[in-house]
């Protein structure tokens, strides 16, 4: 125990408000220790069930979350389409190895793939035996991936590309490290590539470098066309293409749902660039890719509609598909012309849910997923309620989807928390980006909203602005207060997720974010760690609790839940102390027999730091992370000391003979 808290412990169970000097996060010395009490009822009936999908994740193709992030493809602009359909075109980030006396590189529209016609042409002028001798190592092109490829010794990488040449081909395919060292290589020789041919190989790395590149070189005079060059590590999650370390971060959150693929990305700055599910399914080399015009980068669409559904399934999360209903940030389809868009969405739903013999279900089955995906939620647009055609288009989508799939829950963009909706919906989308104080006080936002209409889907919340830094403790605590409010109002709120989820350190388009990564490393911001303390609330029972506190900087909630792995039941009390004072919290658990709590398995988890502006980083990934301690004095009545600026989670393990009744713990349930 830190010495600064020791004085507080001596005073356990004292109801006196004592005063000690405490060094505040900002360096100021204030007088403070306050006493508060929280009493909760573990035996209430009927139980108040929190939605099984209360806390989830909102995945948007922003900040290179997918391309150059969760989608493990190492090659950027693999089909040479990023420069647009017209040639000559910019092939960035591909780069030439050699100079114009040894190689000429250009693009033409000779690809064998109809939807992405641009191919790379390399005219190799030098030759190992000729007069114009090639530089050592040959000439060709290399791709640096997304700010460097992470190549790791002992790991294997599948490299695939399409090639054509009128001459026999001799080529080396290699991963090269940042000091020009070879990390893996393979040579190909082929005299029969007059027509496009697929080349596939597995390279095993004998060295490591997080800033590597893939290069294709030759020393033989020839003209070679290349297209659709891909390099994927073999160790992606379940072989499904998801970068394992980033997937693990998501899985640890046990998300109840995953909303995808945005956000504003779904709208597009203009409709012509918006996400089109149909162009993202089927074999990867056939996908045209698109310019993400909202967040300003090219994506090859390796992470497509199918992969999003697969990701949801792999995470055990319900997919929430956000559909563009003919509205972008700058243009709209008139409602009189919307029916083809509606049909397109019905086709997408059939792709996800139809059996393998249905037209679109068979397309899914052909991709290897015979069983339908569990698509139950469709969100109609993103932040579009105020747009002229929103209601007209929405109703066309609503009626068609409900007609074909009555069980699908449809989420409107219009806020039903303040006024009654003028259109039907199962849920309404609610976004909040604000400063820390407002976010914390928004814990009460849903206290008085209607319990009869559609429930809220808080699909994007975040503290933003300078005070949030790049994702600090202050942000996390304010958001934790907000989530406690959502939990307490879980009869009005069905789902919640922070936004944005991911950021590639090299291309932050939106700040702050929950998870930061580069080519080889990842860390969670305090917001991420905060969310971990809410993961067991999905499907839990909300317990009635009454907080008496001299300060409005304190907020709390209590749940009971059973751990699926151990079958052990717990009461969890979460408290956010948003203020600068230490608080002695006297906790009393009513409705439980006196010996129901097992002190040995009970814990106290604290998320705090010496300064609310503290952040994590690659160097200090867990500077602000939960610290778990045994709670040896756990019992029905106990005192817990809550540090200033902290989120704590008190986990009281119940004895195995204490049974749960209808989700809550009966007063006489102890056997
Ligand atoms: O989460 C980042 C962006 O913020 C989303 O794309 C958009 O919906 C919101 O404005």
Confidence band, pLDDT 50/70/90 cuts, at residue 658: confident
Cα–Cα dist 389/391, whole Å: 6
263 preceded by cis ω (within 30°)? yes
pLDDT value for 502: 98
Which atom of ligand 1 is the closest one to the Cα of 500? 1
Pocket test for ligand 1, best of 59, 263, 275 (most atoms within 8 A of CB): 263
Q: Is 622 exposed, middle or buried (0-12, 13-18, 19+ CB in 10 A)?
A: exposed
List pLDDT tens digits, range 525-584. 999 999 999 999 999 999 999 999 999 999 999 999 999 999 999 999 999 999 999 999
Pocket test for ligand 1, best of 460, 498, 503, 527 (most atoms within 8 A of CB): 460
Cα–Cα dist 258/538, whole Å: 13
Between 91 and 3, the more confident residue is: 91
In this structure, which residue's CA is closest to atom 5 in ligand 1? 263
- How far does the centroid of ligand 1 lie from the alpha carbon of residue 546, in Å? 35
- 482 contact partners, CB below 8 Å, separation of at least 6: 432, 439, 440, 442, 443, 445, 461
Reduced 3-state DSSP string for 524-538: ECHHHHHHHCCHHHC
Which atom of ligand 1 is the closest one to the Cα of 264? 6
Whether the Cβ atoms of residue 545 and residue 42 lie closer than 8 Å to each other: no
Rg (alpha carbons) of the chain, rounded to whole number: 28
- How far does the centroid of ligand 1 lie from the alpha carbon of residue 461, in Å? 9
Confidence band, pLDDT 50/70/90 cuts, at residue 7: very low
Whether the Cβ atoms of residue 20 and residue 7 lie closer than 8 Å to each other: yes
Half-sphere exposure of 447 (CA within 13 A, CB side): 8
- The least confident of 246-250, 344-348, 666-670 is 666-670
**Quick one: average pLDDT of 350-376?**
98
Whether the Cβ atoms of residue 290 and residue 301 lie closer than 8 Å to each other: yes
- How far does the centroid of ligand 1 lie from the alpha carbon of residue 433, in Å? 9
List pLDDT tens digits, range 397-409. 999 999 999 999 9
Q: Is the pLDDT of residue 671 over 50?
A: no
Q: Is the pLDDT of residue 24 over 70?
A: no
Q: Which residues line ligand 1 (CB under 6 A)?
A: 60, 62, 262-264, 382-383, 460, 499-500, 510
Which atom of ligand 1 is the closest one to the Cα of 382? 8
Between 65 and 418, the more confident residue is: 65
Q: Is the pLDDT of residue 506 over 70?
A: yes
Which atom of ligand 1 is the closest one to the Cα of 265? 6
Which atom of ligand 1 is the closest one to the Cα of 510? 2
**Quick one: average pLDDT of 241-259?**
98
List pLDDT tens digits, range 405-462. 999 999 999 999 989 999 999 999 999 999 999 999 999 999 999 999 999 999 999 9
pLDDT value for 663: 52
Confidence band, pLDDT 50/70/90 cuts, at residue 47: confident
Tell me which DSSP letter residue 278 carries.
Answer: G
CA distances to 177, 209, 502, 517, 636 from 387, rounded to whole Å, are 50, 49, 28, 35, 54
Pocket test for ligand 1, best of 500, 502, 512 (most atoms within 8 A of CB): 500
- The least confident of 22-31, 76-85, 229-238, 352-361 is 22-31
Global pTM? Answer: 0.94
Q: Is the pLDDT of residue 34 over 80?
A: yes
pLDDT value for 25: 42
pLDDT value for 469: 98
In this structure, which residue's CA is closest to atom 2 in ligand 1? 500
Strand partners, 143: 214
The pairing of strands 297-299 and 377-380 is unpaired
In this structure, which residue's CA is closest to atom 8 in ligand 1? 263
Q: Please give the structure tokens belonging to residue 190.
A: 């082929």
Q: Is the pLDDT of residue 519 over 70?
A: yes
Helix-helix angle 359-366:339-353, to 10 degrees: 50
The pairing of strands 318-323 and 257-260 is parallel
Q: Is the pLDDT of residue 58 over 60?
A: yes
Cα–Cα dist 583/571, whole Å: 21
Which atom of ligand 1 is the closest one to the Cα of 294? 6
**Quick one: average pLDDT of 456-475?**
98
- How far does the centroid of ligand 1 lie from the alpha carbon of residue 264, in Å? 5
Nearest C-alpha neighbor of 491 from the set 39, 47, 58: 47
pLDDT value for 44: 83
Cα–Cα dist 595/586, whole Å: 18
Confidence band, pLDDT 50/70/90 cuts, at residue 248: very high
Confidence band, pLDDT 50/70/90 cuts, at residue 29: very low
Helix-helix angle 305-315:244-252, to 10 degrees: 50
List pLDDT tens digits, range 93-120. 999 999 989 999 999 999 999 999 999 9
Cα–Cα dist 170/146, whole Å: 27
The pairing of strands 664-670 and 658-661 is antiparallel
CA distances to 26, 107, 125, 279, 362 from 289, rounded to whole Å, are 48, 17, 32, 8, 23
pLDDT value for 378: 98
- How far does the centroid of ligand 1 lie from the alpha carbon of residue 278, in Å? 23
Which atom of ligand 1 is the closest one to the Cα of 462? 1
- How far does the centroid of ligand 1 lie from the alpha carbon of residue 312, in Å? 20
Q: Is 623 left (phi over 0), alpha (psi -120 to 50) or beta?
A: alpha
CA distances to 11, 296, 513, 515 from 507, rounded to whole Å, are 50, 10, 12, 13
In this structure, which residue's CA is closest to atom 4 in ligand 1? 263
- How far does the centroid of ligand 1 lie from the alpha carbon of residue 456, in Å? 17
Alpha-carbon dihedral 515, 518, 522, 525, rounded to 10 degrees = -30
Tell me what the pLDDT averaged over the chain comes to.
93
- How far does the centroid of ligand 1 lie from the alpha carbon of residue 411, in Å? 16
In this structure, which residue's CA is closest to atom 3 in ligand 1? 263
Residue 315 has phi, psi (to 5 degrees) of: -85, -10
Pocket test for ligand 1, best of 382, 430, 434, 514 (most atoms within 8 A of CB): 382
- How far does the centroid of ligand 1 lie from the alpha carbon of residue 349, in Å? 24
**Quick one: average pLDDT of 308-320?**
98
**Quick one: average pLDDT of 299-311?**
98
Which atom of ligand 1 is the closest one to the Cα of 60? 6
Pocket test for ligand 1, best of 269, 413, 431 (most atoms within 8 A of CB): 431
Q: Please give the structure tokens belonging to residue 340.
A: 């083809």
Which atom of ligand 1 is the closest one to the Cα of 58? 1
- How far does the centroid of ligand 1 lie from the alpha carbon of residue 265, in Å? 8
Which atom of ligand 1 is the closest one to the Cα of 499? 1
Q: Is the pLDDT of residue 641 over 60?
A: yes
- 615 contact partners, CB below 8 Å, separation of at least 6: 469, 470, 471, 472, 473, 525, 526, 623, 624
- 273 contact partners, CB below 8 Å, separation of at least 6: 290, 291, 292, 293, 328
Strand order in the sheet with 522-524: 502-504, 515-517, 522-524
Q: How far apart are the first and last CA of the chain?
A: 36
Which atom of ligand 1 is the closest one to the Cα of 262? 6
Q: Is 207 exposed, middle or buried (0-12, 13-18, 19+ CB in 10 A)?
A: middle
The position carrying tokens 């879980």 is 490
- How far does the centroid of ligand 1 lie from the alpha carbon of residue 105, in Å? 39
List pLDDT tens digits, range 132-174. 899 999 999 999 999 999 999 999 999 999 999 999 999 999 9
Pocket test for ligand 1, best of 65, 383, 415 (most atoms within 8 A of CB): 383
Stated as kind and residue range, the H or E segment containing 648 is strand 646-654
Confidence band, pLDDT 50/70/90 cuts, at residue 52: very high
Whether the Cβ atoms of residue 380 and residue 398 lie closer than 8 Å to each other: yes
- How far does the centroid of ligand 1 lie from the alpha carbon of residue 263, in Å? 5
- How far does the centroid of ligand 1 lie from the alpha carbon of residue 463, in Å? 13
Q: Is the pLDDT of residue 26 over 80?
A: no
202 preceded by cis ω (within 30°)? no
Cα–Cα dist 506/519, whole Å: 9
């Amino acid at each position: 125990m830190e010495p600064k808290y020791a004085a507080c412990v001596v005073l356990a169970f004292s109801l006196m408000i004592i005063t000690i000097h405490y060094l505040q996060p900002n360096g100021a010395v204030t007088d403070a220790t306050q006493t508060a009490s929280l009493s909760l009822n573990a035996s209430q009936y009927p139980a108040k069930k929190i939605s099984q999908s209360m806390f989830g994740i909102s995945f948007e193709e922003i900040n290179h979350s997918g391309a150059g992030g969760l989608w493990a493809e190492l090659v950027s602009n693999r089909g040479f389409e990023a420069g647009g359909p017209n040639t000559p075109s910019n092939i960035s980030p591909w780069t030439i190895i050699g100079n114009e006396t040894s190689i000429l590189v250009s693009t033409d529209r000779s690809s064998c793939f109809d939807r992405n016609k641009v191919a790379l042409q390399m005219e190799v002028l030098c030759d190992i035996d000729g007069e114009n001798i090639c530089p050592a190592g040959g000439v060709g092109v290399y791709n640096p991936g997304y700010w460097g490829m992470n190549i790791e010794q002992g790991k294997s990488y599948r490299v695939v590309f399409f090639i054509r040449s009128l001459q026999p081909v001799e080529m080396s395919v290699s991963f090269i490290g940042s000091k020009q060292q070879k990390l893996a290589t393979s040579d190909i020789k082929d005299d029969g590539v007059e027509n496009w041919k697929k080349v596939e190989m597995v390279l095993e790395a004998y060295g490591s470098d997080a800033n590597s590149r893939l290069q294709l070189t030759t020393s033989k005079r020839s003209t070679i066309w290349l297209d659709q060059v891909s390099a994927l590590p073999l160790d992606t999650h379940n072989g499904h293409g998801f970068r394992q370390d980033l997937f693990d971060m998501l899985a640890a959150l046990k998300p109840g749902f995953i909303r995808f693929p945005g956000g504003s990305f779904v709208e597009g700055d203009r409709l012509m660039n918006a996400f089109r599910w149909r162009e993202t399914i089927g074999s990867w080399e056939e996908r045209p890719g698109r310019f993400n015009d909202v967040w300003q980068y090219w994506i090859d669409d390796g992470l497509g509609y199918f992969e999003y559904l697969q990701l949801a399934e792999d995470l055990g999360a319900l997919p929430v598909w956000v559909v563009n209903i003919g509205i972008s940030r700058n243009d709209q389809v008139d409602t009189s012309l919307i029916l083809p868009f509606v049909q397109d969405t019905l086709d997408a739903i059939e792709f996800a849910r139809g059996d393998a013999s249905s037209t679109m279900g068979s397309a899914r089955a052909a991709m290897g997923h015979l069983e339908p995906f569990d698509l139950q939620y469709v969100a109609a647009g993103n932040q579009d309620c105020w747009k002229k055609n929103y209601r007209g288009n929405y109703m066309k989508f609503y009626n068609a989807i409900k007609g074909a799939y009555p069980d699908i829950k449809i989420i409107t963009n219009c806020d039903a928390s303040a006024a009654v909706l003028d259109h039907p919906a199962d849920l309404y989308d609610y976004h909040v980006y604000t400063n820390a104080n407002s976010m914390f006080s928004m814990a009460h936002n849903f206290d008085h909203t209607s319990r009869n209409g559609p429930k809220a889907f808080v699909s994007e919340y975040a503290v933003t602005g300078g005070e949030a830094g790049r994702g600090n403790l202050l942000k996390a605590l304010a958001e934790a207060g907000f989530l406690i409010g959502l939990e307490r109002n879980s009869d009005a709120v069905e789902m919640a997720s922070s936004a944005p989820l991911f950021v590639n350190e090299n291309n932050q388009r939106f700040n702050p974010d929950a998870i930061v990564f580069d080519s080889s490393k990842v860390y969670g911001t305090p917001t991420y760690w905060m969310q971990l303390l809410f993961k067991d609330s999905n499907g839990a029972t909300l317990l009635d609790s009454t907080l008496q506190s001299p300060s409005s900087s304190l907020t709390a909630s209590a749940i009971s839940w059973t751990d699926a792995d151990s079958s052990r039941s717990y009461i969890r009390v979460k408290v956010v102390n948003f203020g600068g004072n230490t608080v002695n919290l006297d906790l009393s658990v009513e409705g439980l027999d006196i010996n129901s709590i097992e002190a040995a398995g009970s814990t106290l988890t604290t998320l705090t730091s010496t300064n609310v502006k503290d952040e994590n980083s690659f160097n200090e990934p867990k500077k602000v992370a939960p610290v778990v301690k045994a709670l040896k004095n756990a019992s029905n009545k106990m005192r817990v000391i809550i540090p200033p600026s902290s989120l704590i989670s008190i986990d009281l393990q119940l004895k195995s003979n204490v049974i749960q009744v209808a989700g809550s713990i009966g007063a006489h349930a102890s056997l």
